[in-house]
Chain A
Amino acid sequence: MTEYRPTIAAVPLGVHRPLWSVMIPTYQCARYLAHTLHAVLCQDPGPDAMQIEVVDDHSTDDPETVTRDVGRGRVGFFRQPANVGHARNFETCLYRSRGHLVHLLHGDDGVRDAFYATMEGAFQTAPSIGAAFCRQIITDADGNWVHISPLEQEESGVIEGWLDHIASGQRLQTPAMVVRREVYERLGGFDRRLTWTEDWEMWVRIAKHFPVWYEPAPLALYRVHSQSSSGRQINTAETIRDVRRAIEIIRGYLPAERADALARQAIHATAHAAIRRGRRFAASGVRAAARAHAYEAVRTEASPSVIAGAARVMLATLLPARRPSEAP
């Protein structure tokens, strides 16, 4: 274990171990939390089989009341003494989990009926897998379904060629993933150098050491809203710098003969994602964020297509805003 990867100790002997640990990290998302808790409690197999706990990163919007009202004593609550950032809060979730299967479910995301039964079936069918994930539905702030994640494989089962696939770019959201606690005990927790892509790095690390199962049914819900931690960090393009750090870490997990090609794919995809985001910021008149993304795109990959795309974004920030309300 390196200095960047926290050690996740085994659960002490004598502590009751349920099959499931549903760990629910929260930060300023109390208004969505009731919905998240309902989705879990609808399929609750009881406290002997499932630990359910909210781990709050020192929010000011009182998730404890929601947990008490909706959870009625069934859901545990832990509050960080000070705000530690979402990656470190995930780490606390892992420390506090006691079950064999850990599900990290953000307090603004959700699961559909039969998520837990279906995912449990995967670990029964293939006990050697380290993790399993399902297809995801992306929702807007109000919970309306907007998109669906790409279909990775037609049938449920161990996913072929997963290491190369996941190493070439982030392609899934945390609520879709269930990991055996033992895997975290062996590989360590989320990498502390990362603030936004810690989940991606973890999925690649797991893919390097264990088979991973895919369930094509879309059973997890991922909410995109401006208050989410991804929403806040996106404005400064810090996310793009974080992806670059993750790519460098991930390179070390890959077989030498494919490492460069896969890293290049990830870099290319990241640069183009930065341009797309920059273009959206420019179109909505958020100029500083648009420019920050143009710079980061070129820093990520100085290829002709990226430079041309970045130049267009910069140019767009000089034009008058399209919406009159955004005009200076």
Chain B
Amino acid sequence: MIPTYNCADYLAHTLRSVLHQDPGPDAMQIEVVDDRSERDDPERVVRDVGGGRVSFFRQPTNVGHVRNFNTCLERARGRLVHLLHGDDAVLAGFYDAMAVPFRENSDIGAAFCRTIYMDERGHWTSFSPLLRSGRRVLSDALALMATRQPAQPPSVVVRRDVYEQLGGFDPRFRTCAEDWEMYARIAAHYAIWYEPAPLALYRRRPHSLTGRGIRDGQNARDARLAIETYRRHDPALPPDVTRQARELAALWMLMVARGARDARDDVAWLRQMWEAIRTSRSRPVLGRLVRESAAQTRAVARRPALDRPHGASA
């Protein structure tokens, strides 16, 4: 299931990466679910590249990405669901490798592989860290899922009946972390399989940093909501798992702050720094907070007087 919103430029690449390993309509449903894109025309890309093999559904109104993901789950008919964002992709061999664990082990609720990060132009930039050498069931999946975010959406395959049991994505999440919460929810109830080969491609786009939620701190509220939700899912979760999860979330906010510094968005920078310290005061967080403040001070001092972020008109 391929959710899209204003990403038709990348969609052809996404579709081709799937169609190259298409086992045929009897074995695989391929559908683009568009959240009423207004800047581009994904339907045309689906027609041109899909050649009738890929179906297309358009939301009657824009519903936001979380509800659009849920529409994907509702419309999915297969036993294994892969949510592949319309700007991400998979490498050859993804579907073969990810189907195997489910055949071999009926306890597995989800499987994920490592992720290749790519830039706007599709050049690879790095790989997600190696958690374990060797393909296997993760024995500590819940703690891993809660304290890091090891899986990016294109790298995850989930059994549809897991979503039937646990429900879809939580629509209270408005900007992010709905996937993080979902993976932890699955890990609390099912075995998770890990494939160390990087077979999924996740696109990082610079403007995603400047999106809604960064300046008003909604991203931080979403992250904290995800952590709260885990605690409710599993009251037995050790307190240091929650602490580590908060630290991870705070470090991520500091990374967003760093992006805001580069983009000279001082409002967003201040907001993210504040949200970071509200989320965690661990030693690594405080250390990075100090370094980030120093870097921002230097960056502001270097700015030419006339080159203000919202520049005075000449």
Contact = CB atoms under 8 A, between A and B. Distances in A.
Is the pairing of A and B real? yes
Interface in B85-124: 92, 114, 121, 123-124
Given A142-B133, A144-B196, A146-B130, A216 B92 contact: no
Contact of A154 (B121, B126, B130, B198): B121
B127 A148 contact: yes
A209 interface: no
B125 interface: yes
A146 B126 CA distance: 8
A154 B114 contact: no
Contacts of A6: none
B209 to A, nearest CB: 20
A314 B134 CA distance: 38
Contacts of B198: 145
Contacts of A151: 123
Interface string A123-159: 0000000000001000010101111100100100000
Nearest to A218: B124
A104 to B, nearest CB: 24
Interface size of A as a range = 10 to 19
Contacts of B127: 145-148
B126 A148 contact: yes
A144 B125 contact: no
A48 interface: no
Contact of A148 (B125, B130, B196): B125
Contacts of B124: 135, 148, 218
Interface in B119-177: 121, 123-127, 130, 133-134
A216 B130 contact: no
A147 B196 contact: no
Nearest to A150: B125
Contacts of B197: 145
Contacts of A260: none
Contact of A147 (B123, B126, B134): B126
A113 B92 CA distance: 10
B123 A216 contact: yes
Nearest to B134: A142
Interface of B: 92, 114, 121, 123-127, 130, 133-134, 196-198
Interface of A: 113, 135, 140, 142, 144-148, 151, 154, 216, 218
5 contacts: A140-B130, A142-B133, A146-B130, A148-B126, A151-B123
Given A113-B92, A145-B198, 16 more contacts: A135-B124, A140-B130, A140-B133, A142-B133, A144-B133, A144-B196, A145-B197, A146-B127, A146-B130, A148-B124, A148-B126, A148-B127, A151-B123, A154-B121, A154-B123, A216-B123
